[in-house]
Amino acid sequence: MPAPENTLKSNLAAGKLQTGVWLTLANPIAAEIAGRAGFDWCLIDAEHGPNDIPLILSQLQALAGTPAQAVVRVPIGQDWVLKQVLDLGAQTIMVPMVDTGPDAARAAAAMRYPGAGVRGMGAALARASRYGEIVDYVASANDQICLIAQVESRTAIENIDAIAGTQGVDCVFIGPADLSADMGFPGNPDHPEVQAAIDHAITRITAAGKAAGIISFDPAQFAGLAQKGVTFLGMGGDAALLRVALQDLASNSPN
């Protein structure tokens, strides 16, 4: 029995638009609701969300019963962090603050077993192999791993060809908030210079044959981003959506 097929990876490789939502509430019930809402993927955010290993595990378990594919954004791309999250059963991982080709290569190696990488061997004890039930997990896992390298600085944009061209990188995700701040326009990702950098990155990522990703909280931008070539499209986050819905409901109070 091989590792489960990562349909998000295969759909991105085929150029199919995959839409999703950020999960920052650190709650398996919220994750399950989001997973049944109609998104292709749900991203458990351990960089800015209050998620630790047990909370990531509980949300992976909740999402396993839904149509949505699970993605985990780790807080940092260190080998031991990636190893733990992979052993939990995550197959698609976003690594933040990837600035250079060597940064991307290190993450790609950390996520794959020897032969293609340096991932530590512990599958027999891990949820990823169903605790040893998937006897061919080690032999087949590398093919199902999906690495999303997050670029969010001027340095990363300058190195976009090297990052996108790195073997083992499946998708390059542009972080508009941090990118705009690093370019001198904090809180203003719509600034023309930032938008030009984003457009340049999307063009170079897709030219390298990799999926381009980004997030927007403005539904009016979704179609335009897809037309530019984005295929990993974040459509907002659970906390922000909950806030808006609750405020809208409260505004209809008769008192």
Number of neighbouring beta carbons within 10 Å of residue 53: 13
Rg (CA), the chain: 18
**Alpha-helix runs per DSSP H in the chain:** 7-13, 28-35, 53-63, 79-87, 101-110, 137-144, 154-158, 160-164, 176-182, 192-207, 222-228, 238-250
Helix and strand numbers, DSSP H then E, in the chain: 12, 8
**Any residues with CB less than 8 A from the CB of 55 and at least 6 apart, and which?**
26
Active site (annotated) includes residue 48:
yes
**Any residues with CB less than 8 A from the CB of 244 and at least 6 apart, and which?**
none
Catalytic residue among 5, 10, 48, 102: 48
**Euclidean distance between the first and the last CA atom of the chain, given in angstroms as a whole number:** 61
Contact 212, 202 (CB under 8 A): yes
Question: What are the residue numbers of the active site?
Answer: 48
